[in-house]
Amino acid sequence: MDWCRYRFRSVWCLAAPPEAVYAVLERGEDYPSWWPQVREVVPVDETTGTARFRSLLPYDLVVTARARRGDPAAGVLEVALGGDLEGWARWTLTALPDGSGTRALYEQEVEVRSPLLRALAVPGRPVFRANHALMMRAGRRGLAARLRASPRPV
């Protein structure tokens, strides 16, 4: 097992149509306004930006995210990641079968590149996974609140 590699998967059910969820998720520069652990996003160009994250642990992760796929019709947003985490992250949005909202699937495969986190890979792994889970819970709550506050697309 490579202790520095992680695969994450989260499913969020949101009370908004996929188009509305996509419209919020595609605006990476706005994440800090609704996702507390996303501390800063700085656009580099039209397809790339840097982001700084911090959850419960007193340590910032800095990544560069470059758009790999943005397909509103398929409900897919995917980025390549570099920096403290190297790999990819993807959102896949589908309408809930009963039409009441959206199933948002988040998948991420990364290798930790930060020297400190690599050094702490074995003893820190359960803590890092818990830290990520807390970040994802807060993100779901923040996105749900953002969607409730936003007007629905016509």
On average, the pLDDT of the chain sits at 95
- The candidate with the shortest Cα–Cα distance to 9, out of 107, 94, 93, 109, is 107
The whole-angstrom separation of Cα 44 and Cα 39 is: 16
> Which pLDDT does position 1 carry in this prediction?
77
Characterize the bridge pairing of strands 5-14 and 61-71: unpaired
CA angle at 14 for the pair 10 and 20, rounded to the nearest 5°: 110
Is 22 part of a structural domain of the chain? yes
- Strand, helix or coil for residue 5: strand
The structure tokens 């700084």 sit at: 52
Residue 154 in domain: no
Q: Is residue 127 part of a domain?
A: yes
| DSSP H or E stretch at residue 33 | helix 31-34
Tens digits of per-residue pLDDT, 74-121?
999 999 999 999 999 999 999 999 999 999 999 999 999 999 999 999
- Alpha carbon distance 57, 4 (integer Å): 17
Q: Domain with 80 in it: what CATH number?
A: 3.30.530.20
Parent domain of 58: 5-149
45-82 confidence digits (pLDDT tens): 999 999 999 999 999 999 999 999 999 999 999 999 99
**Would residue 116 count as lying in a domain?**
yes
Question: Is residue 128 situated within a structural domain?
Answer: yes
For the chain, the domain total comes to 1
Distances from the Cα of 99 to the Cαs of 10, 27, 81, 145, in angstroms? 20, 24, 33, 19
| Start-to-end C-alpha separation, the chain | 48
Residue 100 maps to a domain: yes
Position 83: which residue type? G
Give me the pLDDT at residue 151, please: 63
Say how far apart CA 31 and CA 7 lie, in whole Å.
Answer: 22
